[in-house]
Amino acid sequence: MALDVECRGRETNRDRDRRVFTFMMQDGVGMCSLLCSAYFANVYIDEELEEVIGKKFHYAKWLKTGWTHHLCIHDWPDKVAPPGPGFNLKSLGSNALSLLVGGFIENLKNNNTDKPYPYIASWSDGA
């Protein structure tokens, strides 16, 4: 799926950043589940993980989801509160959102991978 990182119509930079960040997290969980399924033939993707891969990413449930499925977030900016209880993506300001998605958008636009950005990865061996 191609991701449009430009603002759509009347979409503000903040709204675009929230949309891009949600895509980044959903895509990361989806890729980890596919890699785990390919490596461990008997991996069961439960409803909770399926929901994260699907239309919603439940930030408040991230700690439980991450622990249950052996997932972690790398390169999370120090200046942004991490997902967990009380985390609300909609309450993040423009600066925090820019820290979260800036590297991803810049890498996508410039076709490089130099800028770090938060991503989800498995902590399980071999996945």
Residue 12's pLDDT is what?
A: 92
Cβ(65)–Cβ(71) below 8 Å: yes
Domain annotation covers residue 1: no
Return the CA Rg of the chain: 15
Give the model confidence (pLDDT) of 65-96 as tens digits: 778 778 888 899 999 988 877 888 888 899 99
**Residue 54 placed within a domain:** yes
Domain assignment present for residue 22? The answer is yes
Domain assignment present for residue 91? The answer is yes
- Flag whether 6 is in a domain: no
Domain membership flag for residue 80: yes
Q: Quick check: is 34 in a domain? A: yes
pTM: 0.71
Number of independent structural domains in the chain: 1
Q: Does 107 map to a domain?
A: yes
Which residues does 26 contact at the CB level (< 8 Å), separation at least 6? 52, 53, 54, 57
pLDDT tens per residue, range 42-52:
444 455 555 54
> Which domain does 98 fall in, by range?
13-122
Query: In the numeric block, which tokens belong to residue 106?
Result: 């810049």
- If we measure between CA atoms, which residue out of 18, 16, 22 comes closest to residue 4? 16
